[in-house]
Amino acid sequence: MEHGFWHARWAEGRIGFHEGTANALLKRHLGALQLGSGQRVFLPLCGKTRDIGWLLEQRFRVAGAELSRTAVEQLFDELGQTPEITQAGPLERFAASGAEIYVGDIFDLEPATLGPVDAVFDRAALVALPEEMRQRYAAHLEALTRGAPQLLITFEYDQSAMSGPPFNVSAEEVQRLYGDSMSPRLLERVEVPGGLKGQCPAQEVAWVLGG
């Protein structure tokens, strides 16, 4: 998607994709990543997700990448933290109390800047990207995190019934993007109550990749 699309969504408060609580599939399946206290979890295209606060409460360290500075400012406001803001190459780094968020284009974020991570939680990134961008994104994420295991959340629905984002990402596409290197394993598939955006039936799907 064009940067202007997401900047406009945040500026206008059109953030229906933002969940008011931590994601239920994250809570149920984080254990599949076999993490220990204090390990570092990366959330690509994180917005101001409540998942970050929940992970911090579970005593994990959190890193994220987000295009919208507005989203990151709201994230730290809601966490009740005043972040230190520094420049990190072409991105800005917001950091406070176990959380580091890099503001800018995720494709400008490099492994040396991000540093080591122990796992990835992708709830909002892959499904936010149109099909023609997903291969580039998947390869970049693997390189960026040095192949760290992932808990991936996707949506499955009839794409002709509704335009994304979030986009339909089929099981076949997950295998195509990650099957050669990360051996995706299906964890759970649940119906989206009331349908996606109230427009069409959909399932939310949890995968573990690698590990």
Which residue carries 């500075």 as its tokens?
A: 69
CA torsion through residues 16, 22, 27, 28, sign: negative
CA distance to 32, 37, 106, 119, per residue, from 210 (Å): 10, 20, 21, 10
Report d(CA 152, CA 140) in Å as an integer.
15
Which residue carries 């803001």 as its tokens?
A: 85
Q: Phi, psi (5° rounding) for residue 128?
A: -85, -10
Report d(CA 56, CA 98) in Å as an integer.
7
208 with 29: CB under 8 angstroms? yes
A 10 A CB-CB count for 200 gives 15
Q: Is 66 annotated as a binding residue?
A: yes
Q: Is 131 annotated as a binding residue?
A: no
Q: Is 142 annotated as a binding residue?
A: no
DSSP class of residue 125 equals: S
Report d(CA 84, CA 63) in Å as an integer.
14
Residue set of the binding site: 10, 45, 66, 123
Residues placed in the known binding site for S-adenosyl-L-methionine: 10, 45, 66, 123
